[in-house]
Amino acid sequence: MKKSINSIGRFMFILLVLFSSKANTQFNKLVWSEEFNGSGLPDSSKWSYDKGKGCPQSCGWGNNELQYYTVANTNNARVEKGYLIMEARKEKIEGAEYSSARLVTKNKGDWKYGRLDIRAKLPAGRGMWPAIWMLPTDWKYGGWPRSGEIDIMENVGYWPDSVLGTVHTNAFNGIKGTQKTAGLNFKDLSTAFHVYSIVWTANEINFYVDNKL
């Protein structure tokens, strides 16, 4: 019997860079970058994977997600022609109906304060939820949301022209509906690359798309 597998969305990155500076907020010293040279699996010295469906601690990863995250599978995450491609696929796997990838830099690239720029093109379609998040290396103040979360970019499939930047804390978070969030509208998120950025200092976090605050 022929097995049918459909690609349902591609999330493409071309560049990730981080700048920092102790003296001021210009952040003019490059401390980390990823330009996705080569081909095949992502660089294991910079990237690790979250695996599975989030069970048993948080099935659906706390977001009612339907996919199973694979590890070191080029069908779901690969470097190709200068891009990192993260691909969601409709296929049965480990009790899920979809596969995808969730890459993390934890313990390989961990930062506090700086400017982070990511150039990416987003997938389109209802059910898509591409996101670039920052989570704690050490959950010093407890589980989510006590130790915080910074969402550099989120795009929800049923709201395709909007990009959101959000901060979650114990006082302000999605469970309570008090999260601090703001957004911008673009018509070409799935057809053109945009640069998603934050500038994070001890006093504030500013979110940008193509340098627009």
**Residue 90 sits in the same domain as residue 119:** no
Our answer to whether residue 94 is catalytic in this structure is no
Domain count, the chain: 2
pLDDT tens, residue by residue, 177-186: 999 999 999 9
Give residue 193's domain range.
110-212
d(CA 72, CA 75): 9
Q: Report the alpha-carbon distance of residue 120 to residue 99 in Å, rounded.
A: 20
User: Which distant-in-sequence residues (6+ apart) come within 8 Å of 156 by Cβ?
Assistant: 128, 129, 162, 164
pLDDT tens, position by position, 106-164: 999 999 999 999 999 999 999 999 999 999 999 999 999 999 999 999 999 999 999 99
Answer with the residue of higher pLDDT: 175 or 41: 41
Please tell me whether residues 97 and 115 are part of one structural domain: no
154 a catalytic residue: yes
Q: Helix (H) and strand (E) counts for the chain?
A: 0, 15
131 in the same domain as 205: yes
Instruction: Please check whether residue 157 lies inside any domain of the structure.
Output: yes
137 and 73 in a single domain? The answer is: no
Assess whether 127 and 75 both reside in one domain. Answer: no
Give the active site residue among 34, 87, 91, 154: 154
pTM of the model: 0.91
